Structure 1
Amino acid sequence: MPRYHFHVQHGDRFILDREGVDLPNLRTARGEESQAAQASWEHVLCFIQSLPNRTTVITDESGRIVFVLSL
């Protein structure tokens, strides 16, 4: 199963996700399959959603950026 990392840019800080999360596919990582996403990475969502004005950068296990979301 692929591993995705959810890095967060918050103001001047860039918080690296060194651990990552194993997810079945990119659609799940992007939250398009909401039930599976909630079950697979609830702890990541809680942390990310607690930060206002953030950018989330999702990378695959090789470090390639696969999705960027600014809120």
Structure 2
Amino acid sequence: MPRYDFHLRSKDRFVWDEEGVDLPDPTTAQGAADKVAAELHGGLLHESKVACCWTVAVTGEGDQLIHVTAL
């Protein structure tokens, strides 16, 4: 099963996903990214002192960009 990484990024920060998740296909990874974004939306924006836009960037094997979703 392929491994997908879910990285968080904003204008001035990048948080690497060093573990990744095994998922059956890119479509499932996209759905998981959208779910993660929805769950994190309130928490990250609430904790941030500077208004910014966070995204979840999903990469597959070989660091190929699969999907990007905004929080």
TM-score (normalised: structure 1): 0.69
For structure 1, which runs of at least 5 residues remain unmatched after alignment? 32-36
2:7 match: 7
CA–CA distance in 1 between the matches of 2:61 and 2:9?
Answer: 19
- Give RMSD over aligned pairs: 2.4
2:36 match: 45
Whichever residue aligns with residue 10 of structure 1, its letter is S
Q: How many residues align structurally?
A: 60
* Match runs of 1:1-71 below 5 Å: 1-31=1-31, 37=32, 45=36, 49=40, 50-52=43-45, 53-71=53-71
Between the aligned residues of both structures, percent identity stands at 43
CA–CA distance in 2 between the matches of 1:63 and 1:4?
Answer: 9
Contact residue 8 and residue 54 of structure 1 kept, 8 A: yes
Question: As a proportion of its length, which structure holds more strand?
Answer: 1
Per the TM alignment, residue 61 of structure 1 is displaced from its structure 2 partner at its CA by 1.9
CA–CA distance in 2 between the matches of 1:14 and 1:67?
Answer: 16
Question: As a proportion of its length, which structure holds more helix?
Answer: 2
Per the TM alignment, residue 13 of structure 1 is displaced from its structure 2 partner at its CA by 1.1
- Report the structure number with the largest CA radius of gyration: 2
For structure 2, which runs of at least 5 residues remain unmatched after alignment? 46-52
List 4+ stretches of structure 1 deviating above 4 A: none
